[in-house]
Amino acid sequence: ATPAATMVGTTIGAQNGVLFKGGDILERVRDVDTVVFDKTGTLTKGEMELTDVVALPATDGGAVEGEAATDGGALAEPEVTEAFVLEVAASAESGSEHPLAEAIVEGARERGIDVADPEDFENVPGQGVKATTSHGRVLVGNRKLLADEGVDVAPAADAMDRLEREGKTAMLVALADGEDADGEYRLLGVVADADTVKESAEAAVTELRERDTDVWMITGDNERTAEAVAERVGIDPDNVMAGVLPEDKADAVEDIQSDGRRAMMVGDGVNDAPALATAFVGCAIGSGTDVAIEAADVTLMRSDPLDVVKAVRVSEGTLSKIK
Ligand code: ADP
Ligand code: MG
CATH number at residue 207: 3.40.50.1000
Q: Is 264 found in the same domain as 307?
A: yes
CATH number at residue 103: 3.40.1110.10
Q: Is 178 found in the same domain as 93?
A: yes
Per DSSP, the three-state class of 283 is strand
Where is the domain boundary, 194, 226, 249?
A: 194
Where is the domain boundary, 194, 226, 243?
A: 194
Those residues whose beta carbon sits under 5 angstroms from the ion ligand 2 are 40-41, 269
Separation CA 8–CA 112 (nearest Å): 56
CB atoms closer than 10 angstroms to residue 199 = 11
CA 38 / ligand 2 centre spacing (Å): 6
Where is the domain boundary, 160, 194, 228?
A: 194
Could you write out the DSSP letters of every residue in 38-79?
A: EIIIIIB----EEEEEEEPPP-TT-----GGGTTTS--SSPP
**Residue 158 is among the residues annotated as catalytic for this protein:** no
Q: What is the pLDDT along the chain (323 residues), one digit of tens a residue?
A: 688 888 889 999 999 999 999 889 999 999 999 999 999 889 999 889 999 999 999 865 444 555 444 444 444 456 899 999 999 999 999 999 998 999 999 999 999 999 999 999 999 998 999 999 999 999 999 999 999 999 999 999 999 999 999 989 999 999 998 666 667 999 999 999 999 999 999 999 999 999 999 999 999 988 999 999 999 999 999 999 999 998 899 999 999 999 999 999 999 877 889 999 999 999 999 866 787 788 899 999 999 999 999 999 999 987 765 54
Distances (CA, A) of 175 to 65, 83, 141: 10, 14, 12
The total domain count for the chain is 2
The residues lining ligand 1, judged by C-beta closer than 6 Å to any ligand atom, are 39-40, 93, 96, 98, 100-101, 126-129, 140-142, 169, 171, 219-221, 246, 269, 271
Give the range of the structural domain holding residue 145, as residue numbers without chain letter.
49-194
Residue 222 placed within a domain: yes
